[in-house]
Each structure stands twice: as C-alpha cells, then as structure tokens.
Amino acid sequence: MPQTITVEKTTGATTPRPAPGKRGSSRKNTPAARRALRLAYRTRRGMAPLYAAAAQAVAGSTLAAADDGWKTALAATVTGATATAAWGRWDARIGKKRLRKQLPARADFIAAASAVTTGGGLVTAMAATGGFQIGHSPYPALTAAWGIGHGIYWWRRGKTTAAPAPALSVQLQDWQDRVACSDGPLPGSKLADVVTTDYGWTAVIVLKNGTWRKAVQASADIAGALDLPEEMVQIEKAAGQSARRAILAVFNRNPLQKGTTHPGPQILDKATGQAEVGIFYDGKPARYAFWKPSGPVHTVVYGATDGGKSRFLDMLLGTERHNGIVSWVCDPQGGQSLPRWREAVDWYEDTAQGGLALLYAVRNVMYERSARYSLMQWTDHKGRVLRGRDHFVVDDPDPLISVTIDEAHRVLALPGAVALVLEIVLMARKCGIKLRLVFQGPKANMFGAGPESTDIREQLQSGNTVMFRTASALTDSIGLPGWEVNPSQLPMYWPDGTSTAGLGYLKGPDNRQAQFRAHFDRDPAHWATTGTTPAPEKTAQAVCGKAYDERLDRLAARLRGETPVLPDDAFAPTGTDAARLAPSTDPIAQAAAAIEAEAPAGTDDKVAAFLLDRGRPVGRNTIAQETGLTVSAVKNALTRLKNKGLAVAVDRGIWAHPDHADAPAEPTDLADAA
C-alpha cells in the first residue's frame, strides 16, 4: 500500500510578498517606462531611421571609452557592408527549390548599402575621436543629417509599397459581393492571382462547381454585376490548369483598340512554320501556321464586310512572297479585293472560271508530285536511305504552294468544283500544297451543294480557322465548333468611332479562345513590289498546261480592257502531258503516266451505260464491281458525267442516271455507301 506523506505548511516557510507598489520596483518597469517601450514598438517601422541615428550616438560614445574601440567599430562596419552585399545579390537554390522569392530592387539595395557604410563610418569616427560630444564636435549634426537623409527614402518607400493594396481589396470585395454571392452569376467562386495591368486588371476565377465553360457563358452577367460594358470583360480557359479555373480580364480600355503595325515578312519563323500575325488582348503574339512537320496547314477565313479579311490576306501574301512560298491567287470579284497582287504572285485569276481552272492545275501538280515522292530516295533522322516519302518537307526539293481563293463560294458554285476541292483538301498536304479559302460566313451553302461540302468545311477547319466579325449568331458555333465565343457579337466600331477591322478569333497553334487583332499592314504595296516572285518547280509548271503558260497573256488582255479566254484544256480532269515531263525512261514519268492511265479510254461511256441500264440509284463500289473498273476511275468518271449532265449525285456515294434519280436505291447500296 503506497505511503502518503503529509507536509505541514508553517508561517516561517512562506516567502514574504513585497509591499504594495514595490513588486518589480526597478526603474525600467515603471508604468511610464512601459508605456514608452510600447509606443516605441508600435512606431518601430516609421521611426526606424531616428532610432538608428540614436543608436549610432550611443555606440560611438560607448566605444570611445575603450582604447581600441574604433577597431571594433571598423570591424562591425566591414561585416555589415559584406552582409548587405550578400543580401542584395545572393540567389541560391537547393535542387529545384529557390531559397528566396525575389532579389531586392536596385534602389533598395543602394539605400541599404549607403546606410550601413556611412553609418558605420560615422560610428568609427566617433569611437576614434572621443565620442558624440554634444556642442564640441560636428557629430551631432552629422548624425541628425544621416537620420533625416535616409529617413526620407524610408518613409517615401513605405508609402509607395502600400498604395496598390486598396485597389486589389476593392476588386476582391466587389467580386465577393456582386458575383460570388448566393444570387450572383457564379455563387461561391473566388478570385486568385489578381494583377493590375495598364489596361485594367486580370485574375484567375476558381469556380466552386462546374468548369471554365460556365464562367465563359456567364461573361455577360458578370459584366452586368460589375457594372461594366460587355466588351470590357474577357474570360477564357486557363490553359494547363484545373478545369474549374478560367482567366478573367477586365478592361478600363480595350488593349486591342490601338492595334499593331505589321512589322514585315520576318514574322514567319521558318524553323517552326509559324508566323506571328497579331496579338491577343494580353499582348501575347497570335500565331498562324503555314506548315508543321507533317506538311502544310490548310486554312479557312471567315468574316463579314469590313471585318479585315482582305488586309489579313495582304499580310499573308507578303509573307509568302518574301519567304520563298509560291502563291496562287483567285479573286473572283474582278480582282478588287486583292488588286496589289495581280503582278506580284506566280498565278493570279480574277474570275470564278479562272479559279476553277487554277484548281484543276493544282490537282495535276498534286498527282505529279505524289508520283515523284512515292519513288524519291531520302535519308531519315537515323541516317537510313529510304525510298518513298510520305510527308512534305519545305524546299526539299520543292517549294510550298499556297492557293488562296477569296469569295470562294463563287468558285464552289461551279459544276465539278466541290468534288475537285474535296479531292485536293484530302490529298494535297502530303504533296506540299496549302489551300486557303475565304468566305463571308461558315454556312453550309457557302461550300457548294452536295454532301461533300460539309467534308470540305470540316477538313479546312481542322487547320487554321480565322474568324473575324460575322453577321449571324446562328453560325458562330459552326465556324468554331466547341468554342465558347461569339464572333457575331464583336462591335463594328470602337467607342471613338474607328473601325474594329482585324478583330476576331484565331484557332491556330496557340488554341486560345480569346480575342486577337491582326497586324495592320499600312503599306501592302511595298511588300508586293519588292523582292522576287517565287515559282514552282519545272515539273509542276509542265503539268499545269496552257492555263498556266498563258496566265500572263490573260492578265495583259484584262489590263487592255479585253475579256480573256481560258484555253480548251483548262478544265480537263488531268493536264499531264508525258512528252513535256522527263523522258519516258525516267521512273518518275512512268509513275505519272500510270496514274493518268488509271481511267482507260471508254470509262465514261461504260459508267454512263451502266447507270442507264441499272434503272435506279447505285453506289460507287457497286459500279466498280460490276464494270471491272477501279473505285478511283469510277469516281473520276462520275464527276465528268455530272459536269456533262449524264449523272446525278443522289446521296453521299450514291449516283444515278438523270432519268432514274427519283427511284429508290437498293438497301445494300445505301449501307455500302454509308
């Protein structure tokens, strides 16, 4: 059983308490002293220069009492100066972790170095000559001057540093009260990384629920909640961050209103094939891809009248001319949209019929290059010599050909144009041919009649899509599918009455769903009249036929006021003339001839007779099986028969004789075509 020890407390064992008013009776702990210490602590930041000056006077007098006190002061000064230098320039890391966030500003570093060296020098002088000595030395005046001089910088710096805080707090408070409240556009949302800019401020929206699309869709409501015009609020996806985050930009002036001047053809980086064609609202460059490692990148440009399409094309054509890219241009509006380029590109047509002839020549070049590339010897990145190249390399051995067709709906309305363009869009990239079509808007009827029109639009929009201000909100989602933007809502004029031409959206290498504005080319004629006009290789020129050879003659006739006439072979399915290519013993010429021989004589008659005998619509595959022809030969024959009015495209892949177009097709043909 544990023992219990009892201790009896007696009066003698009790420590006597001090008398009232005597506890801690040292002078430094009197109420007045404590109040002085508290006051000094509370004002330590503002009064720091005066406290430092007082400390110098005390230190100088104290060290003067010792025989070698000046040595101690000098050592302290050197140590302080060394530490200050290290503070201002030290920036170490441990692995990937940085030990300090930011170096001091240059002005702060200079002020700190001055305070330490001059203050230390003053203390050393006092220690060596007898101390502070009020009334008998210059040290009191020098110490006061030191405190006032460095104090002015200290106090001014404190005011400058504290100034931005109220602005940020206002922004956060407005968001919390008006947007993130229970009845606001984005309940429970927060702002992070708020940064003031020269055009307003930006922040990251962190949503409580949903994705960044929810914030984009609520942009108009957010503008209303913040009592701002709609065009002064921009929201886009926070690339590389959580799906719950979006980038918010609030303008007090739109940074794109001033615009930027086109700097010149050097905007193209030949190492990447990308050109900086404008800027986004935050000043970052907006890039357009001429090509990528797999080959050229097709382009579609949309925009209503005065949207900026023509000036954008001026910039691209000038870039091509001065970077060795062959430009073929069709301006069906009589050359009025792109007049400066009549004599500045390799091939220029100013009618829709001329544009169709140009497309037939493009098809011929495509097959000629394809035949050569399929037999070409080349060396891969591992040094292996291979035969047959399945991709295009710029200027190895041929230049890139860029085909621009303005008001492209006029060309696509011609018979046979839709099928021809689809064939080029699907196959031309591997052969180094880039197609750039320009439309007023992305409606399906702009791309011609028939099911192929949708395929053309989808293929073009898989490359660069440039969408300036459009005229209909119904087509916004068609031109940029999956994007939460409204090009039709872009204003026609800025608040000062100037045009917004060049303002729009660009789906390119950056893939940013944000407003951009194209560079404004103030003198496109300069780039059109300087430099040399790039031309395609000789073999490509050879297969283009008379339509290419006589292009300058037609231009001269147009300038004389005459109506130029296209040659008879301008609309032939193939213009390949084996005699104008390399000798017949050349395997490249043999391959080209084999491609041309894919449609033997009498193919059209055989297909037409089959359609007439069939008596109902039939699929292309069935025609090929029954006639013994290849699918490609049947496809080309049907296109030619359609142009002659001897065949009708009933549905996708389903054809019929005009007399039997209304008859039902066999279910097996429908299933095969699907």
Task: Verify that 656 and 613 share a domain, yes or no.
Answer: yes
DSSP single-letter state for residue 59:
H
Rounded Cα distance, 351 and 4, in Å: 118
Higher pLDDT, 188 or 166: 188
For residue 564, pLDDT over 50 is answered with: yes
Task: Verify that 430 and 544 share a domain, yes or no.
Answer: yes
Residues 490 and 469: beta-carbon distance below 8 Å: yes
What pLDDT, on a 0 to 100 scale, did the predictor assign at position 160? 55
For residue 569, pLDDT over 80 is answered with: no
- CATH code for the domain in which residue 631 is found: 1.10.10.10
Last residue of a domain, one of 251, 282, 308: 251
* Backbone torsions φ then ψ of 10, nearest 5 degrees: -110, 165
Rounded Cα distance, 259 and 625, in Å: 60
What pLDDT, on a 0 to 100 scale, did the predictor assign at position 664? 81
Structure tokens at 291: 């090509």
Higher pLDDT, 497 or 102: 497
Q: One-letter amino acid identity for 198?
A: D
Structure tokens at 33: 């002293």
602, part of any domain: yes
575, part of any domain: no
What pLDDT, on a 0 to 100 scale, did the predictor assign at position 376? 87
The pLDDT tens digits of the residues spanning 12-31 come to: 444 455 555 444 444 445 57
520, part of any domain: yes
Task: Verify that 431 and 521 share a domain, yes or no.
Answer: yes
What pLDDT, on a 0 to 100 scale, did the predictor assign at position 314? 94
Task: Verify that 110 and 235 share a domain, yes or no.
Answer: no
- What's the pLDDT band for 125 if we cut at 50, 70, 90? confident
From 301-310, 375-384, 578-587, 665-674, the region with the lowest mean pLDDT: 578-587
Work out the mean pLDDT of the chain and round it to a whole number.
81
Rounded Cα distance, 17 and 621, in Å: 114
Task: Verify that 73 and 105 share a domain, yes or no.
Answer: yes
The pLDDT tens digits of the residues spanning 625-660 come to: 888 887 778 888 888 888 888 898 888 778 898 888
Task: Verify that 312 and 460 share a domain, yes or no.
Answer: yes
The arithmetic mean of pLDDT across residues 448-465, rounded, is 84
Residues 186 and 207: beta-carbon distance below 8 Å: yes
What pLDDT, on a 0 to 100 scale, did the predictor assign at position 116? 81
Task: Verify that 456 and 389 share a domain, yes or no.
Answer: yes
260, part of any domain: no
Q: Please write down the HEC assignment for all residues of 558-585.
A: HHCCCCCCCCHHHHCCCCCCHHHCCCCC
- CATH code for the domain in which residue 177 is found: 3.30.980.40
What pLDDT, on a 0 to 100 scale, did the predictor assign at position 433? 95
- What's the pLDDT band for 502 if we cut at 50, 70, 90? very high
What pLDDT, on a 0 to 100 scale, did the predictor assign at position 323? 95
Q: What percent of the chain has pLDDT over 90?
A: 27
510, part of any domain: yes
Task: Verify that 229 and 366 share a domain, yes or no.
Answer: no
What pLDDT, on a 0 to 100 scale, did the predictor assign at position 204? 93
- CATH code for the domain in which residue 554 is found: 3.40.50.300
Structure tokens at 671: 């299933």
∠ CA 65-67-69, nearest 5°, is 70
Task: Verify that 124 and 209 share a domain, yes or no.
Answer: no
Last residue of a domain, one of 161, 179, 199: 161
CA-based end-to-end distance of the chain: 98
Of 434, 404, 401, the closest CA to residue 335 belongs to 404
Task: Verify that 350 and 488 share a domain, yes or no.
Answer: yes
**Pairing state between β 516-518 and 274-280:** antiparallel
| Strands of 508-570, DSSP E | 516-518
How crowded is residue 380: how many other Cβ atoms within 10 Å of its Cβ? 9
277, part of any domain: no
Provide the β-strand partners of residue 98.
Answer: 93
For residue 403, pLDDT over 80 is answered with: yes
For residue 468, pLDDT over 80 is answered with: yes
For residue 89, pLDDT over 70 is answered with: no
What pLDDT, on a 0 to 100 scale, did the predictor assign at position 231? 81
The pLDDT tens digits of the residues spanning 335-379 come to: 788 889 999 999 999 999 999 999 999 999 999 999 899 888 888
How crowded is residue 391: how many other Cβ atoms within 10 Å of its Cβ? 13
- Helix ranges restricted to H, 561-658: 587-596, 603-614, 620-627, 631-644
Domain count across the chain: 4
The arithmetic mean of pLDDT across residues 34-51, rounded, is 75
576, part of any domain: no
Query: 637 lies in which domain range?
Result: 598-673
548, part of any domain: yes
Task: Verify that 382 and 440 share a domain, yes or no.
Answer: yes
What pLDDT, on a 0 to 100 scale, did the predictor assign at position 601? 56
The pLDDT tens digits of the residues spanning 576-621 come to: 443 333 333 444 444 444 444 444 557 888 888 888 888 889 888 8
The arithmetic mean of pLDDT across residues 267-292, rounded, is 93
Last residue of a domain, one of 112, 137, 161: 161
- What's the pLDDT band for 489 if we cut at 50, 70, 90? confident
The pLDDT tens digits of the residues spanning 507-534 come to: 999 989 889 999 998 888 999 999 999 9
Higher pLDDT, 105 or 489: 489
Task: Verify that 172 and 77 share a domain, yes or no.
Answer: no
∠ CA 293-299-300, nearest 5°, is 160
Higher pLDDT, 203 or 46: 203
The arithmetic mean of pLDDT across residues 202-228, rounded, is 90
What pLDDT, on a 0 to 100 scale, did the predictor assign at position 388? 87
